[in-house]
Structure 1
């Protein structure tokens, strides 16, 4: 379920900068992005020079490097940036709004799981400034959509362990809506809409388009519990409440036979830089 504040998420710096608490766990457990997305960003021509906004630990950046791209990361959390550098991604510490490109230009600007932390107009304006004509801005998110039985089990676990946590409300919403295949994706409509509107307002781009790629991943109990503390609503829970949530979710996965398959949809907003300079 999403852990994105509804109003002006780019101002919620406390949540945005909470993921570096355990950067190595974040890198180890967060899902990667589908190959089809990487191939679409890279395109049919020579591998592009890419600016990765909010690159975190470099998950998307390393996938792009493996596809032949040269990648520069910009990341406001120094802990995440340090790990990205150790893992082979050149990374500069700054928010993209304040980052100085120093005349550098790129063929693509991407943001994986991060554009909602960027001012949508200022971020798009900076992307337009550094993109070569014909280059593309692509902001994308992995949205997980648990099957109905999984959503119900998790909602119950969250309500029992941390009834006042945003996780409880989010899980209940997902469970209630889980009869549709895009239940959790619908929660991202506002984020996608704001991103597209910011691109339009910034100028310098063709009309934004949306991409959607569906895929699945099977998790064991231990693998899911390893990832769970990296989710935004959990990073800010008190340790005791977090432990209760972990125990309750672990019991729920045990009851499902010790593993489950999570549906994912990778959603993206993409726009081509227009003009001649």
Structure 2
């Protein structure tokens, strides 16, 4: 697995398209649940250090997927409940010891349970923003926080240019993984418009990972738009990208980041 080698905090936020209405893409992850668990990166230890700098007894992990966030929270002594709409993803999380309830967060029956922290790693864009804000405000205790965060992956410019040529030829409609989205204009936290929340200044944790061509292929194959290409077209794309990577020494140096939007329940 790729190794986290360094990080630093920044104050930029990367905008991400809200995709909650695209159920075809949202439901694509379960078909690659094991691949997702193997190749999607973990989140920086410094992120968890910051989130747990305040006492947290109970956390709700929304869109918990295969449990990448919940497992780390449990390791740090937090009692965690996961919520995820895909039973195949939830099954992998359960194998890691995570307690998961299979449903959409917006439809979830909280049964009166309240939490000190909500986390959502690379999944809030699948949640209806208005309904998600209401659900979050309902289940958080006063003063508790909701943390939504995403990883992104930036490759060196020379490699990116060749990646873009491959995408233009084989999959022109897809988002090119490897571009730096942090150069885009900042996007305000939508929870800032909700009277139940006060938002914090966004933060980005920078990190470096080195991936083989196989690891890069595994990673990009877990993205929903790539999944919808179909097996044959995705194979052609990943094979072409692996060929590019091999020309560049067989290793992709990823200068990535994890950006955090944090809000507090008033």
TM-score by length of 2: 0.89
Structure 1 residues 171 and 216: CA distance shift in structure 2, 3 A = closer
Q: Is the 8 A contact 1:155 1:171 kept in 2?
A: no
Aligned to 1:177: none
Per-residue deviation at 1:188? 8.1
Per-residue deviation at 1:44? 4.2
Is 1:31 aligned to residue 23 of structure 2?
no
Distance of 1:10 and 1:247 partners within structure 2: 30
Aligned to 1:103: 112
Aligned to 2:7: none
Aligned to 2:61: 52
Paired residue secondary structure (1:97): helix
Question: Unmatched 5+ residue regions in structure 1?
Answer: 175-182
C-alpha distance after superposition, 1:234-265 (max 9, x if no partner)? 11002221111011001011011010210111
**Per chain length, whose mean CA-contact separation is higher, i.e. which structure has more relative contact order (CA < 8 Å, sep 6+)?**
2
Paired residue secondary structure (1:80): helix
Aligned to 1:150: 159
Distance of 2:54 and 2:78 partners within structure 1: 12
Aligned to 1:249: 241
Question: Unmatched 5+ residue regions in structure 2?
Answer: 1-14
Query: How do 1:1-277 residues align onto structure 2 when only pairs under 5 Å count?
Result: 6=17, 8-45=18-55, 47-163=56-172, 165-167=173-175, 170=176, 174=179, 183-187=180-184, 189-190=186-187, 193=188, 196-197=189-190, 199-274=191-266
Per-residue deviation at 1:98? 0.4
Per-residue deviation at 1:160? 2.7
Structure 1 residues 136 and 85: CA distance shift in structure 2, 3 A = same
C-alpha distance after superposition, 1:73-126 (max 9, x if no partner)? 000111111111111110001111100100001000010000011111211221
Aligned to 1:180: none
Paired residue secondary structure (1:104): coil
Distance of 1:261 and 1:43 partners within structure 2: 31
Paired residue secondary structure (1:65): helix
Distance of 1:188 and 1:83 partners within structure 2: 36
Q: Is the 8 A contact 2:16 2:125 kept in 1?
A: no
More helix by share: 1
Q: Is the 8 A contact 1:5 1:12 kept in 2?
A: no
Paired residue secondary structure (1:209): coil
